[in-house]
Structure 1
Amino acid sequence: MTPLDRSVRALLADVARAAILPRFGQLSTAEREEKSPGDWVTIADRESEALLATGLRAIDPHARVIGEEAYASDPTLLDDIGTGRLWLVDPLDGTNNFAAGRTPFGMIVALVDDGVVQHGWLYDPVADRLSHAAKGRGAFIEDVQVRAVTVERSQPIATYSKYWMSDEKAAMLERRAEGILSLKEGLRCAAAQYPALVDGQYDVALFERLFPWDHAAGALFVSEAGGKVARLDGSPYRLERRDVGLLAAASPELWNKAAAVFGG
């Protein structure tokens, strides 16, 4: 790991021990609430974001911090996301899982320069495992460089989230995928979903919600591991675009096969 990777990893682990892990399975009703129907936030989200923001500013004081919970209070924070140096922070990804007392959940940080993701870190607090990547330098799990595993299957396993789409759209995707892809419900945690593409658990993931803190680090990680992440029309993923339709796969070939189903 580089000194930057070690600093970010230590910060993530410290914040997880202080604000997240002690509350896993221990939340009271007063410590969680719905930001919108079906979209939860907890005291762990808010406390861990505050701690991460302080720590990241200490690591790089020239980069501003944009976190998921800060955005909830001030949506204008994303207005100039393509300008300057910034940290993108999802302090507790998979909050709905965490609030229900189940895994997976994780922590995500990305470092961005003028709209280009330079570094990304996805941390699993329960396993104490860091997946990370640097643009042009590869993808790593802890200190080991990794390449995406492509498993020979009769039908590639593709995840999607019925939760964020209409019943009609889900049924349409299932009809298109029949005999081509094996569709599974997604993990509802990008911090876990992207590494699962690289380690061979899944082959493809279709994402509906495109907030940048959810995808900046993971898209870099999968791409640097030899996979492909792009819009359904094949155009590159860009942080400022938040309309639906981001497809990630363990290889370009798998991406093309899935795009024929999801993008039709």
Structure 2
Amino acid sequence: MAETALDEAVAALMRDTAQRTLLKHYQQLADHHVTAKAADDVVTIADTESEAMLAEGLARILPEAAIVGEEAAHADASVLEHLSDSLCWIIDPLDGTNNFAVGKPPFGILLALAEKGETVAGWIYDPLTGRLCTAHRGKGAWLNGERFTARPSGQEPPIAAISLVFVDQEKRAALLEHIAPHYALVDIPRCAAEQYPRIALGINDVSVFERTLAWDHAAGVLFLNESGGKAARPDGSPYRVDRHLEPGLIGAASPALFDALAERMSLIG
């Protein structure tokens, strides 16, 4: 399928799904619509309805592609084996579920298409604002249909959102002692569908992520890289969806900002 036709089909599916599932339930959840999935993590009826609708729609768009959805993988870990398939859809049906569950933004939908473990296309949709970020490997990035280039904030010190949610105590202490003093720290949104656009749009300059699950990061990493920023492992190696259980990822609004942070992180191990 041609890229333009693919983008149009995926965008239409995301908008329709958001309207019929996420926005239908937003600020309308009953207690029985929210279930604990893990420590400090929940799933809602909106997650499951959105994933079902997205999976059905993506299967129609590219029937030859396997599908890895966040909730399907949670129910059956063998689904993750498809991340290295010749073609694979990756679905985060509701990114920022913890925010959504208490009736506040940000939240969004993340979709990616991977080929043998490498992301080749990604889409990030914000249902409340309609913002759509799109990227294709080697072809660039778009924001609401317009070609887009990432921009740093221009602030000094640079603005950093450092996620400590999944960091062990020793590494957390090292980050706060050796990395944080070089940056102006801001709160994380607990939503990759918001964090990656914040980096590219000059709201934040850098982010550090510990957990790097494919549905959270595949689309955002590609969007940032294709827009002229840089997202990669701290050692500079590329992010691959079939190695998403490995910890550690840096996102930056420019290669220079990435290099400066990566060098500092190399000193703390």
Please report the TM-score for the alignment, with normalisation by the length of structure 1: 0.96
- Inter-partner Cα distance in structure 2 for 1:244 and 1:190: 16
Q: 1:164 aligns to what SS in structure 2?
A: coil
How do 1:106-145 and structure 2 match up within 5 A? 106-145=108-147
The one-letter amino acid of 1:248's match is: G
Structure 1 counterpart of 2:35: 33
Conserved 8 A contact 2:164-2:210: no
Conserved 8 A contact 1:32-1:40: yes
The one-letter amino acid of 1:247's match is: I
Matched positions, count? 264
- Inter-partner Cα distance in structure 2 for 1:183 and 1:71: 33
Q: Which residue among 233, 240, 247 is the counterpart of 2:242?
A: 240
- Inter-partner Cα distance in structure 2 for 1:90 and 1:263: 31
Deviation at 1:76, TM superposition (A): 1.0
Q: 2:51 aligns to what SS in structure 1?
A: helix
- Inter-partner Cα distance in structure 2 for 1:225 and 1:7: 22
Q: 2:241 aligns to what SS in structure 1?
A: coil
- Inter-partner Cα distance in structure 2 for 1:152 and 1:15: 37
Structure 2 counterpart of 1:23: 25
Structure 1 counterpart of 2:45: 43
Q: 1:163 aligns to what SS in structure 2?
A: coil
Structure 1 counterpart of 2:70: 68
Conserved 8 A contact 1:181-1:258: no
Deviation at 1:179, TM superposition (A): 4.0
How do 1:107-256 and structure 2 match up within 5 A? 107-241=109-243, 242-256=245-259
Conserved 8 A contact 2:160-2:207: yes
How do 1:68-107 and structure 2 match up within 5 A? 68-107=70-109
Structure 2 counterpart of 1:263: 266
Calculate percent identity across the aligned residue pairs.
44
Gaps of 5+ in 1: none
Question: Does the C-alpha gap of structure 1 residues 85 and 42 become closer, same or farther in structure 2, counting only changes over 3 Å?
Answer: same
Gaps of 5+ in 2: none
Q: 2:182 aligns to what SS in structure 1?
A: coil
Deviation at 1:168, TM superposition (A): 4.2
- Inter-partner Cα distance in structure 1 for 2:129 and 2:154: 27
Q: 1:109 aligns to what SS in structure 2?
A: strand
- Inter-partner Cα distance in structure 2 for 1:200 and 1:151: 4
The one-letter amino acid of 1:18's match is: R
- Inter-partner Cα distance in structure 2 for 1:263 and 1:21: 42
- Inter-partner Cα distance in structure 1 for 2:213 and 2:172: 21
Conserved 8 A contact 2:205-2:257: yes
Structure 2 counterpart of 1:55: 57
Q: 1:260 aligns to what SS in structure 2?
A: helix
Conserved 8 A contact 1:155-1:179: no
Conserved 8 A contact 1:148-1:250: yes
- Inter-partner Cα distance in structure 1 for 2:92 and 2:184: 29
CA deviation profile, 1:121-146 (whole Å, cap 9, x unmatched): 00000001110101111100111111
Q: 2:83 aligns to what SS in structure 1?
A: coil
- Inter-partner Cα distance in structure 2 for 1:262 and 1:186: 19
- Inter-partner Cα distance in structure 2 for 1:263 and 1:192: 27
- Inter-partner Cα distance in structure 2 for 1:77 and 1:227: 31
Q: 2:186 aligns to what SS in structure 1?
A: strand
Q: 1:81 aligns to what SS in structure 2?
A: helix
- Inter-partner Cα distance in structure 2 for 1:80 and 1:7: 23
Question: Does the C-alpha gap of structure 1 residues 80 and 23 become closer, same or farther in structure 2, counting only changes over 3 Å?
Answer: closer
The one-letter amino acid of 2:140's match is: G
RMSD of equivalent CA atoms: 1.3
- Inter-partner Cα distance in structure 1 for 2:179 and 2:83: 35
